[in-house]
């Protein structure tokens, strides 16, 4: 076992990567802002091959991600959505199952997926997080794509 300390990749470069974004249309204004922030960050990181896909809601995100990952056309994917607590138990079901599905899709396919599905109490919390979360997911997708490429190249 190595004693190396983990390092943050400060100079991420997404040149040559293909990144897919799957965004929910439910809570559209927030999801559009998440996507705009993710795309802006991907472009800043030199990703030119960005494909965006729209689905009705958060529960449709995992199947779409899994299908895209299985296509072999993407180095990484990004899941974007906003699940806002309401007055019923539905919030817990959608939040838990959507996030579980995102995790399962990446573990089954081996394609990294940055999870940007916001699970918040209200619109104000979602708006406060939408810019940073979109950008963070873009950076995570590029970093994980490069990390896995490095692992595969070492074999």
The model's pLDDT over 46-64, given as tens digits with 9 standing for 90+, comes to 999 999 999 999 999 999 9
**Nearest-angstrom CA–CA distance, 135 and 12:** 13
The model's pLDDT over 1-53, given as tens digits with 9 standing for 90+, comes to 444 444 455 579 999 999 999 999 999 999 999 999 999 999 999 999 999 99
SS3 sequence of 41-67: HHHHCCCCEEEEEEECCHHHHHHHHHH
Domains and CATH numbers, the chain: 18-154 (3.40.50.960)
Residues recorded for the chain: 155
- Which residues are annotated as catalytic? 90
């Amino acid at each position: 076992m190595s004693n190396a300390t983990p390092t943050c990749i400060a100079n991420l470069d997404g040149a040559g990567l293909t990144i897919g974004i799957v965004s929910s249309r439910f809570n559209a204004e927030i999801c559009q802002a998440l996507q705009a922030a993710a795309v802006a960050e991907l472009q800043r990181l030199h990703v030119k091959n960005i494909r965006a896909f729209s689905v009705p809601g958060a529960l449709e995100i995992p199947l779409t991600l899994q299908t895209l990952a299985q296509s072999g056309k993407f180095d990484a994917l990004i899941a974007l959505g906003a699940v806002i607590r309401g007055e019923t138990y539905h919030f817990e079901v959608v939040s838990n199952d959507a996030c579980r599905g995102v995790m399962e899709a990446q573990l089954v396919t081996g394609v990294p997926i940055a999870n940007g599905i916001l699970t918040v109490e209200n619109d104000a919390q979602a708006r406060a997080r939408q810019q940073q979360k979109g950008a963070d997911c873009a950076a995570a997708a590029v970093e994980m794509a490069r990390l896995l490429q490095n692992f595969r190249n070492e074999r």
